[in-house]
Amino acid sequence: MGATIRTFALFAFMLGLFMAIGWLVGTFFIGNWMLGTIMFLVLAGLINAFSYFFSSKIVMWSYRVKLVNEVEAPRLYRLVRQISSMNGIPMPKVGIVPTSTPNAFATGRNPKNAVVCATEGIMRMLDDEELLGVLAHEMAHVKDRDILIMSVAATIAGAISFAARFALYGSLFSNRDNEGGLIVGIVVAITAPLAAMIVQMAISRNREYKADYEGAKLIGRPLYLARALEKLEVANKRDPIRFGNPASSSLWIVNPFSGRGLVTIFSTHPPMAERIKRLKKMANSMGQY
C-alpha cells in the first residue's frame, strides 16, 4: 500500500508539473492562463490514452519481439505457465527478443493483455531456478499493472520535456520585449525536464523493489532471483543491447543499456547490491539460506 501511495503521489506531481507549464504558457504567451492550463490538461489525457492502448505495441516493435508458442519455446513457456497456474494469474503471451544480451521484460496494459519477453541470451545463461526467479519478477509486474504505470510515467516525462522546450521557443519568438517571459521560459526548459526525469526514475525504482519482493513471494524462493541478478548485472555491463530505446529501459529487469556512457548517470533501476541484499534478507526471514 505504501508503494502504491508513493507512486500515485509522484504521478500527481508530474501531472501538476505538466499543468504548471500550461499555466505559464497561457500566462506569458497566450494571454489566458486558464486556456493554457486546460489545453495542457487535455493534452495530458490524450497522451495517457495513447500510452494505455499503444505503448506495449511500440515497445515490442522496437525490440523486435517474436511471439512464440509452447512448441517453439517449451522451456520458457513451461516456466511462465508454472508461475501463472500457481498464483491464479492469467497466462500471458510469451515472446523472445533476438539478442545475446541476457535480460527480460514484460509489457501490456493489464494481465489479460500482457506479454512476458525473454532474450535469447538469458535463456542460455540462467538455469531453470534462476530463470524462474526472473520470470516471477516479470509476472509480478503484470499482476500489479506496473508496466502500464512505468510506460505512462515515461510518456508523461517525455511530454514534459517537449512542453518545456515549447515554452522556451515561445518565449524566444513570441515577444522579444517580454523579458519576464524569456526568463521563465529558460528556467522551465532547464528545470522541468530534470524534475520529470527524477520523478520517473523514482517511480521506476519503487516498482522494481516491489516486483522483486512480489516475484519472490509468487514462487517462495527469493534466492533464485538474487542469483540471477548477480549474473545479469555483470553480463549487461559487458554486453549491452544494441538496439531499442533507452527511454524504455525501466521495463527491463536490469538496465540493458548500462554500458552506454551517460545512461549510467541517471539509472531507472535501484542499486543492484541493495536489491540482492533485500532478497537475501527476505530469504533469511523465510528460513532459506
CA distance 220 to 283: 9
- Active-site annotation holds for 214: no
Give, in degrees to the nearest 5, the angle at Cα 185 between 180 and 189: 155
Q: Which of 72, 120, 129, 138 is catalytic?
A: 138
pTM: 0.76
pLDDT for 214 equals 94
Residue 236 has pLDDT above 70, yes or no: yes
Whole-number Å distance between alpha carbons of 246 and 26: 32
Burial of residue 258 (CB within 10 Å: 0-12, 13-18, 19+) is buried
Residue 261 pLDDT: 46
Tens of pLDDT, residue by residue over 61-89, are 989 999 999 999 999 999 999 999 999 99
pLDDT at 6: 59
For 122-156, what is each residue's pLDDT tens digit? 999 999 999 999 999 999 998 887 776 776 676 67
Chain position carrying cell 519477453: 117
Is the model more confident about 138 or about 183? 138
| 92 secondary structure, DSSP code | P
CA distance 140 to 25: 40
Residue 6, class by beta-carbon neighbours within 10 Å (0-12 exposed, 13-18 middle, 19+ buried)?
middle
Structurally, the chain folds into a number of domains equal to 1
Conformational region of residue 104, where left means phi above 0, alpha means psi within -120 to 50, and beta covers everything else: beta
Region 230-246: mean pLDDT is 88
Q: 173 lies in which domain range?
A: 2-285
